[in-house]
A and B are shown apart, each in its own frame.
Chain A
Amino acid sequence: MRKLLAQFLLFLPLAWSAGAHALTAEAARAMATGDTDERIAALNQAPADAATAAFVQAMSDDAVKITADRVIVVKDDKGFDAATGAEVPIPEDAEDIVNNNRMRGAFEGTLASLKLMSPDRAERVAAIDALREETDESRLPIVEKALAGETDESLKTRLQAIRARIQLSSSDATQRAAAAAELGHSASPATRTLLIEQLRQEDDANAKAAMRQALAAVEGRLVWGERLAALFSGISLGSILLLVALGLAITYGLMGVINMAHGELMMIGAYATYVVQGLFQKYLPGAFDWYLVAAVPAAFLASALVGAALERGVIRFLYGRPLETLLATWGISLMLQQLVRSLFGAQNVGVENPAWMSGGMQLMENLQLPWNRVIIVGFAFAVLGGMAWLIGRTRLGLFVRGVTQNRPIASCMGVNTARIDTYAFALGSGIAGLAGCALSQIGNVGPDLGQGYIVDAFMVVVLGGVGQLAGTVYAALGLGVLNKLLEGWTGAVLAKIAVLVFIIVFIQKRPQGIFAMKGRSAEA
């Protein structure tokens, strides 16, 4: 009986496609009134043509009214007869049709399957996307029909997958087994869920075996995608931690300044990005996609200038008194936060990704690398390289290393140590600004931006070993990956707590971090 109906349905649209308005008043009424089951049945039997599509669309837009003798589609306050398309007056007693959620789902499915036959390829792709999760057997005829008419190979494969998904719940056991075998070629998490669900209620031994086999194949393909996705998100988090901690590695690691305002220097970088974005929107809307290129140096300079001012104004009086710098810079951070609140408001501001940063690389069905994350990983390593070059290869770097290693001797050699302090602090602050610029592309930009990262930043530098750039890199990436691995089975908050506890315990064992400073000193 079901098969018969399916075949009947298959030919139905062909029989009616000749008329311009094949939608009959009866069919329209059946779709618009009655209980949900009856209406869905009517929907599935409706002819697959443009008039039906328009009518279903109108129903899903709540633009259909019913009177005793006709069904009226309302458009721009005018009524049109659903079957003939002629303009008709809307009577006072016309009733709105009421759609529940199930009905709305059915509309979407119907609209999508109607679009499967569209001559426009993009529309067909959209329809296939919409039907991806479909398992209702009543859609099978339309899918089969679309499959018969489809010429594009890739779309054909996707339609076959949809057909297999639908057939997996077929009443015929051999068809179920065949569908399972077909689904075995898939590598999508949705297929896995579907197979697990069907396997639970399957009683035919043959089909069961086929489903098990398919499930194993799908899982085998998924497991690598999942592993790589976890690894990538770990590296992505690690690279963010690295960016956040790199500036601190200079101000705290090299100079010994407990800069609690580090987070606020990042916030300044993020707001500088926001300002540059605003300027581009206003003056260079054509080049908006490239605002980020201008924002990177702007963020660096803004934070570096603020950093230099802080060093000159407050911090240079506090060298050698680490706990005092901690308190003073905390005070500075409070004032900077309030300043930003006064200038930009307490709400988060919107920073948009340029077009080239949205979307992602689809490497596998369940492994997509978002462009903004990929670019930030690259950016973090570029900043790392630039900083290593600056510290290791340039004259400024030589002076910074000299001053931090032995200030009196450096001073004797004619180095202006006070100026080097300012440069070094400004450099660390500028790198914080770069971190802020990067963070603006993946998260909220608001006055509290820095607060969320300050504990993380200190953890990374302390764990890596103060004064050790390599340690900072290992600690940032290690913590990032560890955090994401733990997140897999404990959830985000518990993973974070576990990482903090891990660091506390680790510091007990190795108080000087992964890479201890070499040399002798009486104090541990």
Chain B
Amino acid sequence: MNHSILPQRAPLLSTPGWSAFFAALLGVCALVPVLHLMTPADSVFHLSEYMVALVGKIMCYAIVALAMDLIWGYTGILSLGHGLYFALGGYAMGMYLMRQIGRDGNYKSDLPDFMVFLDWKTLPWHWTLSESFIATLFLIVAVPGLVAFVFGYFAFRSRIKGVYFSIITQAMTFAAMLLFFRNETGFGGNNGFTDFKRILGLPIATQGMRMTLFVMTGCTLLLFFLLSRWLVASKFGRVLQAIRDAETRVMFSGYKPLPYKLTIWVISAVMCGVAGALYVPQVGIINPSEMSTSASIEMAVWAAVGGRATLIGPILGAFIVNGAKSWLTVTAPEYWLYFLGALFIVVTLFLPDGIVGLWKRLTGRKSGSPAREAAEQSAAREKGQLPTTPDAPATGGAA
């Protein structure tokens, strides 16, 4: 047993954790391609094109859920604006894909179709870099990262947090959505970008390209998972969790929360941007609805359903919620909103630690983090704007 004051650094993954990780890697890189490409179409093991596309899409969402978990689950900052970063990455990729269409569009012009339609003669300035793939890769990371840095710097410096922060992130996404809906912004208005034909000069709608994108998405998800795991287990990650549980106490201990919060905020935004960039070529469309208020709130639900502050939970949550969505919107479209709404309510009321928490409770293992619940309550009361519940201790304030 360890008797020092500082706890030992946790291993990156436990032995079963590593086994599961390699199983997932094998599944993404070998099993799915083999089941899709090698089996005959009528076999029970055959994975249809639709299923591959669906799983690929959901893996992008899983990356977003992971990013939400880093910022919400581990740092206690609920962002209702991550749809913006997702869309920014997607639009950066979309611009490149639009340029790759070349003269094969409906109007046989060098300019993207929607610009010809609007009777524009030259590309707007912000399309300059979109011709090069390398520059696009840079933009996918840089644009969401920069927007997140600027917004986060000012918001965290003014120590905006809790609900205020959530609401202004919502306002930011809403404003951006209104902007992207406009034709003169140069992002295709409400139709966005679609009708992609090539990527890196190769046709985009072939089986091989689809598999490549799928494997890339899966590997990115797994890499981000490892990165997140490493982040939260590090000292940096422990400071984040301390900020989540009692920010004031962290400050009084001599830490400055700003750089910590800002770093994780930017990392989270960049992950969303990458997810968006992987999403666009697989789904074949990007439009401003990705920035809508509801899209961003749904992202929080993926994380909440799976279980916050567990990393694996949000990934599961993304798969469960989006799987249910794909199934329900086909079989019973009118019930989808009832289901999603009920999910929001049930998870917040009965499953504060999500499915992973439920699993742990059922299997009798230690529950996620009861400390977090108490901390959230006391933090809310400290601000003096929330009623103190009779069942909570009146001395719960951290300061």
Contact = CB atoms under 8 A, between A and B. Distances in A.
Interface in B365-387: 373, 376-377, 379-387
Interface in A490-505: 493-494, 496-497, 500-501, 503-505
B386 A319 contact: yes
A517 B385 contact: yes
Contacts of A467: 385
Which residue, of A323, A335, A507, has the highest number of chain B Cβ atoms within 10 A? A323
Contacts of A500: 171-172, 174-175, 178
Nearest to A512: B164
A319 B389 contact: yes
A507 to B, nearest CB: 6
A256 B158 contact: no
Contact of A255 (B155, B300, B343, B387): B387
B179 A256 contact: no
B383 A523 contact: yes
Given A256-B387, A497-B179, A455 B293 contact: yes
A321 B376 contact: yes
Contacts of B170: 455, 458
A455 B169 CA distance: 11
A519 interface: yes
Interface size class of A (residues with CB under 8 A): 35 or more
Interface string A335-352: 101100110000000000
Interface of A: 255-256, 258, 260, 314, 317-328, 330-335, 337-338, 341-342, 403-404, 406-408, 411, 417, 421, 451, 454-455, 458-459, 462, 466-467, 493-494, 496-497, 500-501, 503-505, 507-509, 511, 517, 519, 521-524
A493 B159 CA distance: 30
A455 B173 CA distance: 11
Contacts of A255: 387
A277 to B, nearest CB: 26
Nearest to B398: A522
Contacts of B161: 523-524
Contact of A407 (B155, B166, B379, B389): B389
Contacts of A260: 297
Given A507-B160, A521-B384, A338 B338 contact: yes
Contacts of A330: 297, 341, 344
B172 A332 contact: no
A322 B348 contact: no
B320 interface: no
Nearest to A501: B175
A14 to B, nearest CB: 55
Contact of B172 (A319, A322, A466, A504): A504
A417 B390 contact: yes
Given A404-B387, A519-B384, A258 B172 contact: no
B390 A511 contact: no
B341 A333 contact: yes
B382 A341 contact: no
Contacts of B384: 517, 519, 521
Contact of B383 (A335, A337, A404, A521): A521
Contacts of B179: 493, 497
B345 A332 contact: yes
A320 B394 CA distance: 12
